[in-house]
């Protein structure tokens, strides 16, 4: 049993890292822009496809493919923010409708461009194995964990110690006051969206090679990331990290005691419980007037 626990802990940490990437992107967009982007899952998926495109059609270098995926998704994010979400600020209903529409457009667009069949991508880190006692994992498992740790650290340092990061935090706290001190909110929103999309692209580029790259690959991670930011606290970066990792490890470990097809029940059960008991989340801030 100890072996199984260790195995599932590592697997859960790996998937939890992916959820952290997704959740961070969503929490940045919501925290700074107050936009709920349900299309984040398809952006994650596009990241996988773009990485595949660059890996096979350019250098054959996986790190380069990941970087190109992030840059491409950042540019896509810039376009989406300006063309779609800028005009829908402060209109939550229409944001949701727009992002649902984006899901259909992007998924079907990907099927038109790449076809309906799933793609495989096998960089060396996926074909190489690491032994941990009697267990065996692909190197990619640990690459994912390591890259996400690096990404989270970089994001933290960026938000904490750079002018732009400070501007983003200021805008998230009080947009009008940020304008008064000379911060351009449009520029902040665009860059926030670009960073969030780049994180989604990174997630897709990391997870796609481990399993498959297919049009629906972002659907489940998006739901788990949404759960993570609710459990962690809407708008809270530490909450997104704790929520994402927590969900990944919980769903993995729960399969040791309950049938595997019920693991989503456990995750969403915790979500419902959190909404009933502490709806502002673990790290969220309770707003006056809320029960």
Partner 1 sequence: MRRLALTLAFTAAVCAQSAYAQEDTVSIGIVTAQTGPLAAPGKFQMNGFNLAVEVINGQGGFEVNGKTYKLDLKVYDTRCNAAEGASAMQRLASVDQVPIVLGELCSPVAAAEAPIAQDTQVPLIITVPTAPNLTDEGNPYFFRINANNAQLNRALGAYVQATKAEPLAFIAWNNDAGRGGVNGMKALLPADFEIGYVGYFNVGEVDFSSHIANIRTSGAKAVMLLMDEEPGALAIRQIRDAGLDVQLIGTLAMGSNRFLERLNADYLNGMVQYNALPPNAPLERIKAFSDAYSAKFGEESHGFAAQSYDAVFAAVKAMQAAGSTTEGPKIRDALSALEFEGVIGPISFDDKGQASPPVYVTEWCEGGDRKVIFPPEFAAGCGAG
Between 8 and 166, CB nearer to partner 1: 8
Between 135 and 179, CB nearer to partner 1: 135
Between 4 and 105, CB nearer to partner 1: 4
Phi, psi of 119 (to 5 degrees): -105, 150
Between 10 and 65, CB nearer to partner 1: 10
Between 64 and 212, CB nearer to partner 1: 212
Between 11 and 72, CB nearer to partner 1: 11
Is-contact 197 76, C-beta < 8 A?
Answer: yes
DSSP state of 162: S
Measured CA to CA, the distance from residue 184 to residue 6 in angstroms comes to 48
Task: Provide the minimum distance between the beta carbon of 117 and partner 1 in the complex, in angstroms, as a whole number.
Answer: 5
Task: Output the 3-class SS for 74-122.
Answer: HHHHHHHHHHHHHHHCCCHHHHHHHHHHHHHHHHHHHHHHHCCCCECCC
Task: Provide the minimum distance between the beta carbon of 213 and partner 1 in the complex, in angstroms, as a whole number.
Answer: 10
Measured CA to CA, the distance from residue 126 to residue 109 in angstroms comes to 28
Task: Provide the minimum distance between the beta carbon of 175 and partner 1 in the complex, in angstroms, as a whole number.
Answer: 40
Task: Provide the minimum distance between the beta carbon of 261 and partner 1 in the complex, in angstroms, as a whole number.
Answer: 5
Task: Provide the minimum distance between the beta carbon of 12 and partner 1 in the complex, in angstroms, as a whole number.
Answer: 9
Helices (H) and strands (E) in the chain, counts: 12, 2
Binding site for partner 1 (CB under 8 A): 1, 3-4, 7-8, 11, 15, 111, 116-118, 120, 129, 131, 134-138, 211-212, 214, 216-217, 220, 252, 255-256, 259-261, 263
Task: Provide the minimum distance between the beta carbon of 180 and partner 1 in the complex, in angstroms, as a whole number.
Answer: 49
Measured CA to CA, the distance from residue 51 to residue 126 in angstroms comes to 14
247 C-beta neighbours (distance < 10 Å), count: 27
């Amino acid at each position: 049993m100890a072996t199984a626990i260790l195995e599932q802990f590592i697997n859960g940490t790996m998937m939890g890292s992916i959820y952290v990437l997704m959740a961070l992107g969503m929490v940045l967009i919501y925290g700074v822009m107050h936009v709920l982007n349900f299309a984040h899952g398809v952006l994650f998926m596009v990241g996988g496809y773009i990485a595949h495109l660059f890996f096979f059609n350019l250098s054959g270098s996986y790190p380069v493919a990941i970087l190109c995926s992030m840059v491409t998704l950042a540019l896509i994010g810039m376009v989406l923010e300006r063309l779609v979400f800028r005009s829908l600020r402060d209109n939550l209903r229409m944001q949701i409708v727009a992002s649902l529409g984006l899901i259909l457009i992007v998924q079907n667009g990907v099927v038109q461009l790449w076809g309906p069949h799933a793609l495989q991508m096998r960089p060396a880190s996926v074909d190489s194995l690491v032994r941990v006692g009697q267990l065996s994992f692909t190197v990619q498992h640990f690459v994912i964990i390591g890259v996400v740790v690096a990404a989270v650290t970089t994001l933290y340092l960026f938000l904490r110690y750079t002018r732009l990061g400070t501007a983003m935090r200021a805008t998230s706290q009080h947009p009008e006051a940020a304008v008064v001190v000379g911060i351009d909110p449009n520029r902040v929103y665009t860059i926030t969206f670009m960073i969030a999309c780049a994180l989604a692209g990174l997630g897709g580029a990391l997870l796609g090679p481990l399993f498959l790259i297919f049009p629906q690959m972002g659907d489940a991670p998006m739901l788990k990331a949404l759960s993570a930011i609710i459990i962690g606290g809407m708008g809270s970066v530490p909450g997104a990290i704790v929520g994402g990792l927590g969900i990944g490890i919980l769903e993995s470990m729960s399969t040791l005691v309950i049938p595997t097809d019920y693991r989503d029940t456990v995750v969403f059960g915790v979500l419902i419980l959190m909404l009933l008991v502490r709806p502002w989340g673990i790290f969220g801030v309770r707003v006056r007037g809320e029960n």
